[in-house]
Amino acid sequence: MKSHKKSRYSQLIEDIFFQKYKDGDTKICFQRVDLETTAEKLNIKLPKNLGDVIYSFKFRASLPSSIVAKASKDKEWIIKNIGRAKYTFELVTEARILPDKMMFAIKIPNATPSIVEKYALDDEQALLTKLRYNRLLDIFTGVTCYSLQNHLRTTVPGIGQVETDEIYVGVDKLGRQFIFPIQAKGGTDEIGIVQIEQDIRLCEHKYPELICRAIAAQFIDSNKISIFEFIMQNGEVKKMSERHYELVSSADISDKELAQYNQL
Protein backbone atom coordinates (compact mmCIF):
# COMPACT_ATOMS: atom_id res chain seq x y z
CA MET A 1 0.00 0.00 0.00
CA LYS A 2 1.31 3.43 -0.89
CA SER A 3 2.61 5.59 1.92
CA HIS A 4 0.24 8.51 1.36
CA LYS A 5 -2.75 6.16 1.51
CA LYS A 6 -1.43 4.52 4.67
CA SER A 7 -1.06 7.92 6.32
CA ARG A 8 -4.55 8.97 5.27
CA TYR A 9 -6.10 5.76 6.52
CA SER A 10 -4.10 5.91 9.75
CA GLN A 11 -5.36 9.40 10.53
CA LEU A 12 -8.95 8.29 10.04
CA ILE A 13 -8.79 5.11 12.09
CA GLU A 14 -6.76 6.75 14.88
CA ASP A 15 -9.22 9.61 15.27
CA ILE A 16 -12.22 7.27 15.34
CA PHE A 17 -10.54 5.07 17.98
CA PHE A 18 -9.75 7.93 20.33
CA GLN A 19 -13.17 9.55 19.90
CA LYS A 20 -14.62 6.49 21.62
CA TYR A 21 -11.83 4.94 23.71
CA LYS A 22 -11.94 4.93 27.52
CA ASP A 23 -9.25 3.45 29.76
CA GLY A 24 -9.84 -0.27 30.25
CA ASP A 25 -11.96 -0.78 27.13
CA THR A 26 -11.59 -4.14 25.39
CA LYS A 27 -14.21 -3.47 22.69
CA ILE A 28 -14.95 -0.20 20.91
CA CYS A 29 -17.82 -0.08 18.44
CA PHE A 30 -18.06 2.26 15.45
CA GLN A 31 -19.90 2.49 12.13
CA ARG A 32 -19.02 3.18 8.53
CA VAL A 33 -20.63 6.61 8.81
CA ASP A 34 -17.90 7.50 11.33
CA LEU A 35 -15.40 7.31 8.47
CA GLU A 36 -17.37 9.97 6.60
CA THR A 37 -17.82 12.36 9.54
CA THR A 38 -14.19 11.96 10.62
CA ALA A 39 -12.90 12.52 7.08
CA GLU A 40 -14.93 15.71 6.90
CA LYS A 41 -13.58 16.86 10.27
CA LEU A 42 -9.96 16.14 9.26
CA ASN A 43 -10.44 17.41 5.70
CA ILE A 44 -9.39 14.04 4.28
CA LYS A 45 -10.57 12.82 0.90
CA LEU A 46 -12.18 9.41 1.29
CA PRO A 47 -11.57 6.57 -1.18
CA LYS A 48 -14.52 5.53 -3.34
CA ASN A 49 -14.51 2.18 -1.59
CA LEU A 50 -14.86 3.00 2.11
CA GLY A 51 -14.46 -0.68 2.94
CA ASP A 52 -10.82 -0.49 1.80
CA VAL A 53 -9.98 1.52 4.92
CA ILE A 54 -11.19 -1.33 7.12
CA TYR A 55 -9.73 -4.06 4.87
CA SER A 56 -6.34 -2.38 4.98
CA PHE A 57 -6.03 -2.66 8.76
CA LYS A 58 -7.41 -6.18 8.79
CA PHE A 59 -4.94 -7.69 6.34
CA ARG A 60 -2.28 -5.29 5.04
CA ALA A 61 -1.28 -2.53 7.44
CA SER A 62 -0.59 -2.30 11.17
CA LEU A 63 -2.79 -0.11 13.30
CA PRO A 64 -1.22 3.23 14.33
CA SER A 65 1.27 2.97 17.18
CA SER A 66 -0.92 5.18 19.38
CA ILE A 67 -3.67 2.52 19.19
CA VAL A 68 -1.22 -0.37 19.64
CA ALA A 69 0.01 1.31 22.84
CA LYS A 70 -3.47 1.06 24.35
CA ALA A 71 -3.48 -2.75 24.22
CA SER A 72 -3.16 -4.61 27.50
CA LYS A 73 -0.22 -6.96 28.08
CA ASP A 74 0.04 -9.81 25.53
CA LYS A 75 -2.96 -8.51 23.59
CA GLU A 76 -3.46 -6.86 20.19
CA TRP A 77 -6.22 -4.73 18.72
CA ILE A 78 -8.09 -6.03 15.69
CA ILE A 79 -11.07 -4.70 13.73
CA LYS A 80 -14.09 -7.01 13.32
CA ASN A 81 -17.38 -6.73 11.46
CA ILE A 82 -20.37 -6.95 13.82
CA GLY A 83 -23.16 -6.17 11.36
CA ARG A 84 -23.90 -4.33 8.15
CA ALA A 85 -21.53 -1.30 8.11
CA LYS A 86 -20.85 -1.87 11.83
CA TYR A 87 -17.42 -2.65 13.32
CA THR A 88 -15.57 -3.03 16.57
CA PHE A 89 -12.00 -2.68 17.75
CA GLU A 90 -11.38 -5.74 19.91
CA LEU A 91 -8.48 -6.99 22.01
CA VAL A 92 -7.28 -10.51 21.14
CA THR A 93 -4.26 -12.67 21.89
CA GLU A 94 -3.08 -12.90 18.25
CA ALA A 95 -4.12 -10.86 15.22
CA ARG A 96 -2.13 -12.33 12.30
CA ILE A 97 -1.07 -15.85 11.40
CA LEU A 98 2.43 -16.22 9.95
CA PRO A 99 4.16 -19.36 8.64
CA ASP A 100 6.43 -21.06 11.17
CA LYS A 101 9.99 -20.51 9.94
CA MET A 102 11.10 -23.69 11.74
CA MET A 103 8.65 -25.90 9.82
CA PHE A 104 10.23 -28.24 7.25
CA ALA A 105 8.71 -28.43 3.76
CA ILE A 106 7.32 -31.69 2.36
CA LYS A 107 8.10 -32.12 -1.33
CA ILE A 108 5.11 -32.92 -3.54
CA PRO A 109 5.31 -33.79 -7.28
CA ASN A 110 4.13 -30.67 -9.06
CA ALA A 111 0.97 -31.42 -11.08
CA THR A 112 0.38 -27.81 -12.15
CA PRO A 113 0.19 -27.68 -15.98
CA SER A 114 3.27 -25.99 -17.42
CA ILE A 115 1.21 -23.39 -19.28
CA VAL A 116 -0.46 -22.41 -16.00
CA GLU A 117 2.96 -22.21 -14.31
CA LYS A 118 4.17 -19.92 -17.09
CA TYR A 119 1.41 -17.35 -16.70
CA ALA A 120 0.48 -17.68 -13.01
CA LEU A 121 1.16 -14.72 -10.74
CA ASP A 122 1.81 -14.75 -7.00
CA ASP A 123 -1.69 -13.64 -6.02
CA GLU A 124 -4.47 -15.53 -4.30
CA GLN A 125 -5.92 -16.87 -7.57
CA ALA A 126 -2.57 -18.44 -8.48
CA LEU A 127 -2.40 -19.99 -5.02
CA LEU A 128 -5.94 -21.38 -5.27
CA THR A 129 -5.05 -22.82 -8.69
CA LYS A 130 -2.00 -24.65 -7.30
CA LEU A 131 -4.01 -25.96 -4.36
CA ARG A 132 -6.56 -27.36 -6.80
CA TYR A 133 -4.26 -28.93 -9.42
CA ASN A 134 -2.04 -30.55 -6.78
CA ARG A 135 -4.92 -31.68 -4.55
CA LEU A 136 -3.10 -30.15 -1.60
CA LEU A 137 -6.28 -29.86 0.45
CA ASP A 138 -6.84 -33.63 0.12
CA ILE A 139 -3.23 -34.27 1.11
CA PHE A 140 -3.34 -31.89 4.07
CA THR A 141 -6.70 -33.01 5.49
CA GLY A 142 -6.79 -36.69 4.52
CA VAL A 143 -10.26 -36.09 3.06
CA THR A 144 -11.38 -36.33 -0.59
CA CYS A 145 -12.24 -32.73 -1.44
CA TYR A 146 -14.13 -31.00 -4.24
CA SER A 147 -14.25 -27.30 -5.08
CA LEU A 148 -17.82 -26.06 -4.58
CA GLN A 149 -17.62 -22.33 -5.20
CA ASN A 150 -15.03 -19.65 -5.82
CA HIS A 151 -15.34 -16.28 -4.07
CA LEU A 152 -18.51 -16.93 -2.11
CA ARG A 153 -20.00 -13.64 -0.95
CA THR A 154 -22.92 -13.71 1.46
CA THR A 155 -24.36 -12.13 4.60
CA VAL A 156 -23.96 -13.68 8.05
CA PRO A 157 -26.11 -12.58 11.03
CA GLY A 158 -24.16 -10.52 13.54
CA ILE A 159 -21.32 -9.92 11.06
CA GLY A 160 -22.75 -8.56 7.82
CA GLN A 161 -21.25 -9.24 4.42
CA VAL A 162 -18.40 -11.74 4.26
CA GLU A 163 -16.41 -13.20 1.37
CA THR A 164 -14.52 -16.47 1.30
CA ASP A 165 -11.88 -17.13 -1.37
CA GLU A 166 -13.09 -20.66 -2.06
CA ILE A 167 -15.38 -23.30 -0.56
CA TYR A 168 -14.66 -27.02 -0.78
CA VAL A 169 -16.83 -29.94 0.30
CA GLY A 170 -15.38 -33.32 1.19
CA VAL A 171 -16.09 -36.85 2.33
CA ASP A 172 -13.86 -39.23 4.32
CA LYS A 173 -13.59 -43.03 4.55
CA LEU A 174 -16.31 -43.12 7.23
CA GLY A 175 -18.76 -41.20 5.04
CA ARG A 176 -18.54 -38.02 7.12
CA GLN A 177 -19.13 -34.87 5.07
CA PHE A 178 -17.14 -31.68 5.51
CA ILE A 179 -17.19 -28.03 4.46
CA PHE A 180 -13.83 -26.31 3.99
CA PRO A 181 -13.74 -22.50 3.75
CA ILE A 182 -10.40 -21.46 2.24
CA GLN A 183 -8.55 -18.19 2.73
CA ALA A 184 -5.65 -17.76 0.30
CA LYS A 185 -3.02 -15.05 0.69
CA GLY A 186 -0.45 -14.07 -1.90
CA GLY A 187 1.78 -11.04 -2.29
CA THR A 188 2.11 -8.99 0.91
CA ASP A 189 -1.31 -9.82 2.40
CA GLU A 190 -1.31 -11.75 5.67
CA ILE A 191 -3.79 -14.20 7.16
CA GLY A 192 -5.92 -12.46 9.79
CA ILE A 193 -7.89 -14.23 12.51
CA VAL A 194 -10.89 -12.02 11.73
CA GLN A 195 -11.34 -13.62 8.33
CA ILE A 196 -10.93 -17.12 9.77
CA GLU A 197 -13.62 -16.47 12.40
CA GLN A 198 -15.93 -15.08 9.70
CA ASP A 199 -15.40 -18.25 7.64
CA ILE A 200 -16.34 -20.44 10.59
CA ARG A 201 -19.47 -18.37 11.32
CA LEU A 202 -20.42 -18.50 7.64
CA CYS A 203 -20.25 -22.30 7.64
CA GLU A 204 -22.23 -22.56 10.88
CA HIS A 205 -24.92 -20.38 9.29
CA LYS A 206 -25.10 -21.79 5.74
CA TYR A 207 -23.90 -25.39 6.17
CA PRO A 208 -24.87 -26.43 9.73
CA GLU A 209 -25.22 -30.12 8.74
CA LEU A 210 -21.56 -30.35 7.60
CA ILE A 211 -18.37 -30.52 9.68
CA CYS A 212 -16.55 -27.21 9.28
CA ARG A 213 -12.76 -27.25 8.96
CA ALA A 214 -11.40 -23.74 8.40
CA ILE A 215 -8.31 -23.62 6.18
CA ALA A 216 -5.87 -20.88 5.17
CA ALA A 217 -3.00 -21.03 2.70
CA GLN A 218 -0.17 -18.64 1.99
CA PHE A 219 2.70 -18.52 -0.48
CA ILE A 220 6.13 -18.75 1.15
CA ASP A 221 7.62 -18.49 -2.32
CA SER A 222 6.28 -19.29 -5.80
CA ASN A 223 6.31 -23.07 -5.27
CA LYS A 224 6.35 -23.34 -1.47
CA ILE A 225 2.99 -23.12 0.28
CA SER A 226 2.00 -23.09 3.95
CA ILE A 227 -1.41 -24.52 4.87
CA PHE A 228 -3.14 -24.08 8.24
CA GLU A 229 -6.24 -25.48 9.92
CA PHE A 230 -8.08 -23.58 12.65
CA ILE A 231 -10.74 -24.16 15.31
CA MET A 232 -12.63 -21.94 17.71
CA GLN A 233 -11.68 -22.48 21.36
CA ASN A 234 -13.17 -20.40 24.18
CA GLY A 235 -14.38 -17.85 21.65
CA GLU A 236 -10.97 -17.38 20.01
CA VAL A 237 -9.44 -18.68 16.77
CA LYS A 238 -6.71 -21.25 17.46
CA LYS A 239 -4.30 -22.92 15.04
CA MET A 240 -4.82 -26.68 15.05
CA SER A 241 -2.17 -27.71 12.51
CA GLU A 242 0.30 -26.37 9.96
CA ARG A 243 2.18 -27.98 7.08
CA HIS A 244 4.49 -26.62 4.40
CA TYR A 245 4.52 -28.13 0.92
CA GLU A 246 7.07 -27.56 -1.85
CA LEU A 247 5.95 -28.30 -5.41
CA VAL A 248 8.85 -29.86 -7.31
CA SER A 249 9.60 -32.15 -10.25
CA SER A 250 9.28 -35.79 -9.25
CA ALA A 251 12.98 -36.18 -10.12
CA ASP A 252 13.80 -33.70 -7.33
CA ILE A 253 12.43 -36.00 -4.62
CA SER A 254 15.28 -38.24 -3.55
CA ASP A 255 15.08 -41.80 -2.20
CA LYS A 256 16.47 -40.45 1.08
CA GLU A 257 13.64 -37.95 1.34
CA LEU A 258 11.04 -40.63 0.58
CA ALA A 259 12.54 -42.79 3.32
CA GLN A 260 12.33 -39.84 5.70
CA TYR A 261 8.63 -39.30 4.84
CA ASN A 262 7.98 -43.02 5.50
CA GLN A 263 9.04 -42.47 9.10
CA LEU A 264 6.75 -39.47 9.76
In a domain, 84, yes or no: yes
151 and 244 within one domain: yes
Q: pLDDT digit string (tens) for 55-88?
A: 888 877 889 999 999 998 889 999 998 888 899 9
117 and 83 within one domain: no
In a domain, 31, yes or no: yes
In a domain, 100, yes or no: no
250 and 152 within one domain: yes
228 and 122 within one domain: yes
222 and 140 within one domain: yes
Q: pLDDT digit string (tens) for 238-252?
A: 999 999 999 999 999
Point out the domain boundary residue: 70, 93, 116.
Answer: 93
**Residue 125 Cα distances to 94, 113, 191, 244, 246, angstroms:** 26, 15, 15, 19, 18
In a domain, 154, yes or no: yes
Domain range for 14 is: 3-93
134 and 113 within one domain: yes
In a domain, 85, yes or no: yes
162 and 71 within one domain: no
| CATH number, domain containing residue 9 | 1.10.10
Point out the domain boundary residue: 65, 93, 121.
Answer: 93
Q: What kind and span of H or E run contains 82?
A: strand 76-83
126 and 248 within one domain: yes
DSSP per position, 21-59: --TT-SEEEEEHHHHHHHHHHHT-PPPS-THHHHHHHHH
In a domain, 208, yes or no: yes
257 and 141 within one domain: yes
- The domain total for the chain is 2
Q: pLDDT digit string (tens) for 190-240?
A: 888 889 999 999 999 999 999 999 999 999 988 999 999 999 998 889 999
